[in-house]
């Protein structure tokens, strides 16, 4: 990976907002990690996962009920990723390391690999957000063009039209293609992966074997080829679209900035890391409690990028602190009032990049 240097010798914004957030937790006498609200959500989501799977496979309902259940199954899997896995893999689910590690394996339950995700997301994406050539989350070319520094092809003229179909198959591509490509290359985009020990190799292959058995073989045995294929693509579409949309609304809208990181030599960013985070990230639907519950607070992406080790259940409260500090240091606090508004912004932005 090329060398990227932020101007962190003087970080007045981050020092100020961090002090204010620490003061908030100190005065409220609460831990920045999860609490009963998150643990109750965990129980609800995991029970829903087991119940829907059992109903679909072993007590297969009629066609229309099955279609609805498959859609719900995909959304529940997404919500497990948003709420449980995401906090756990960031170390914000619990004060106890073993608890975070345990619930971090819900990523593997979904079919992906937690070890590679932590490198891709925690280290690369959270450090080099929206830096083209480094951030794997915007490395979708040639299919999708995310910023001006990426090459433009004729098909990008229509990317705003095929975004949703592309998102619908994204989790299938993740499980069956992307993980294996990264595993065998030992590289995530332009970043070499740390050496995987024997345990991680075992977990990687164990996860894939489990996925085939749990999500393919058992359904085939109990419901047959046709019902399996229909249900498989329905729940993956629901999961892929919901996951993709939530993360795209955080970084690929008309409010956020991008940096060309593909130029030769060391890239020096003349601002502190925290300022880069707020400029490249956006919130949405901050007053919608239903959306906040489902997406695990990831509609507060500004707060999450500044404080990834704070559980999402605290984001609504500390958002006021972050917004106040952004205004204090003349930094943007990017947000869309509604989720629909954020989606429209995303589609318009992607359309503009293709013109």
Cα(77)–Cα(48) distance, rounded to whole angstroms? 9
pLDDT per position as a tens digit, 296-310: 999 999 999 999 999
pTM: 0.94
Sign of the Cα torsion 18, 20, 25, 29 reads positive
pLDDT of residue 10: 85
Residue 239 in tokens:
């999961």
Residue from 158, 136, 161, 140 nearest 150 by CA: 140
Mean per-residue pLDDT pooled into runs of 10, the chain (355 residues): 85 96 96 96 98 96 96 98 97 96 95 93 94 88 89 94 96 95 90 87 96 97 96 97 96 95 84 96 97 97 97 97 97 97 97 93
Give the chain's domain count.
1
pLDDT of residue 192: 86
Instruction: Cite the beta strand spans of the chain per DSSP E.
Output: 4-6, 131-132, 187-188, 191-192, 259-260, 267-269, 283-284, 335-336
pLDDT per position as a tens digit, 211-252: 999 999 999 999 999 999 999 999 999 999 999 999 999 999
pLDDT of residue 141: 67
Going by C-beta distance under 8 Å and a sequence separation of 6 or more, which residues neighbour residue 190? Answer: 1, 2, 133, 134
pLDDT of residue 337: 97
- What is the crossing angle of helices 315-328 and 12-28, to 10°? 150
- What is the crossing angle of helices 159-168 and 225-251, to 10°? 130
pLDDT of residue 1: 63
Residue 69 belongs to domain spanning: 4-354
pLDDT of residue 142: 83
């Amino acid at each position: 990976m090329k060398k990227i240097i932020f101007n962190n010798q003087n970080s007045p914004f981050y020092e100020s907002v961090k002090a204010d957030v620490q003061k908030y937790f100190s005065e409220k006498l609460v831990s920045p990690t999860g609490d009963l609200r998150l643990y109750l959500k965990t129980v609800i989501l995991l029970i829903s996962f087991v119940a829907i799977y059992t109903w679909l496979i072993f007590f297969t309902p009629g066609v229309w009920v099955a279609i609805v259940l498959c859609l719900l199954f995909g959304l529940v899997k997404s919500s497990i990723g948003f709420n449980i896995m995401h906090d756990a893999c960031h170390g914000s689910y619990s004060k106890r390391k073993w608890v975070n590690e345990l619930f971090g394996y819900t990523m593997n339950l979904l079919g992906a690999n937690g070890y590679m995700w932590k490198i891709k997301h925690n280290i690369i994406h959270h450090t080099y957000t929206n830096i083209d050539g480094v951030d794997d989350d915007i490395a979708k070319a040639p299919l999708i063009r995310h910023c001006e520094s990426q090459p433009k092809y004729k098909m990008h003229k229509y990317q705003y039209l095929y975004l949703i179909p592309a998102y619908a198959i994204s989790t299938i591509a993740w499980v069956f293609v992307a993980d294996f490509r990264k595993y065998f290359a030992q590289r995530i985009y332009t970043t070499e992966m740390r050496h995987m020990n024997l345990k991680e190799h075992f977990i990687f292959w164990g996860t894939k074997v489990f996925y085939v058995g749990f999500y393919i073989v058992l359904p085939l045995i109990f419901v047959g080829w046709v019902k399996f294929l229909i249900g498989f693509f329905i729940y993956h579409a629901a999961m892929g679209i919901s996951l993709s949309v939530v993360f795209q609304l955080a970084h690929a809208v008309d409010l956020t900035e991008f940096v060309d990181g593909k130029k030769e030599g060391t890239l020096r960013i003349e601002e502190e890391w925290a300022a880069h985070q707020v400029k490249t990230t956006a919130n949405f639907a901050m007053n919608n409690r239903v959306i906040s519950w489902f997406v695990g607070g990831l509609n507060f992406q500004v707060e999450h990028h500044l404080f990834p080790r704070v559980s999402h259940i605290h984001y609504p409260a500390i958002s006021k602190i972050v917004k106040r500090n952004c205004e204090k240091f003349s930094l943007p606090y990017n947000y869309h009032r509604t989720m629909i508004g954020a989606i429209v912004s995303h589609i318009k932005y992607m359309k503009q990049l293709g013109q």
